[in-house]
Amino acid sequence: MAEGKTAIVTGGSRGIGREVSLRLAALGYDIAIVYVGDENEAADTVRDCEAKGVKAKAYICNVASFEETKNTVAEIRKDFGNIEALVNNAGITRDGLIAFMKEEDWDNVLSVNLKGAFNMIRHTAALFIRNKGGRIVNISSVSGLMGNAGQANYSASKAGIVGLTKATARELAPKGITCNAVAPGFIRTDMTKNITEDNSELLRTIPLGRMGDVSDVASAVVFLLTSPYITGEVLRVDGGIAM
């Protein structure tokens, strides 16, 4: 159990991040959710975490902003005291063919998905170092491992997460801090609501023959967050797509 420990979950208001928040709350972690968008979704997740007997609070903060993330991490420290775990899950897609991709679609996806994870690690690392411990899990994607046509920006951001994860893992290992990544395949969330399982072509690419659930990904995140001797790992949760 993790009573008294605090985990930050970016994008924790819904989808995979919401499930991660609930699972960590069930383990006894206090939960700080960092998100943008629908306040009702965030309030629901906070309430459902609190129902598990922990403290929870949601912070509106654009992870792409160095200043906003700096201020939000400071606020979380004031509200919760210490921070023991960070899950960089916030992410967006702006799909398009590379020959036509708008510059702003490239910039936005890289800023949220990759710089967002950097910003959060940047503003928590000193505390983790001082604590001589901390756990970081970044959400990548099979799209970053294999490349996905129509997702040059997203694939690049998620491949970047792999490099960020490994460099951070090496740099912070001597301080007792672990940093790992989870690379999901097709998971049923709002992000993938346009993909239906009636699409037999898609299902043929998944050896296990189905899309994943948020709980499949959350289990992997919890496993890595509670594994003191695993660092720099990229754990696929993809039904076998990228094996």
State the residues that interact with ligand NAI by CB under 6 A.
10-11, 13-17, 34-37, 62-64, 89-92, 112, 139, 141, 184, 186-187, 189-192
Q: Residues 29, 35, 59, 154: which is the catalytic one?
A: 154
Whose tokens are 């897609």? That residue is 93
Name the helix (H) or strand (E) containing 144: helix 142-146
Find the shortest distance in angstroms from Cβ 240 to ligand NAI.
14
Given the complex with ligand NAI, which of 6 and 189 has the nearer CB atom?
Answer: 189
Give ∠ CA 192-193-199 in degrees, rounded to 5.
85
In b/e form, how buried is each residue of 180-191, taking b as 16+ CB within 10 angstroms? bbbbbbbbbbeb
Catalogue the E-assigned strands of 67-193: 85-88, 134-139, 177-184
Given the complex with ligand NAI, which of 169 and 214 has the nearer CB atom?
Answer: 214
Q: How many CB atoms lie within 10 A of CB 168?
A: 23
Given the complex with ligand NAI, which of 35 and 80 has the nearer CB atom?
Answer: 35
Find the shortest distance in angstroms from Cβ 175 to ligand NAI.
26
Helix-strand-coil percent breakdown of the chain, rounded to 5?
A: 50, 15, 35
Find the shortest distance in angstroms from Cβ 178 to ligand NAI.
19
Asked about 29 being catalytic, the answer comes back as: no
Find the shortest distance in angstroms from Cβ 130 to ligand NAI.
25
Given the complex with ligand NAI, which of 133 and 213 has the nearer CB atom?
Answer: 213
Catalytic residues: 154
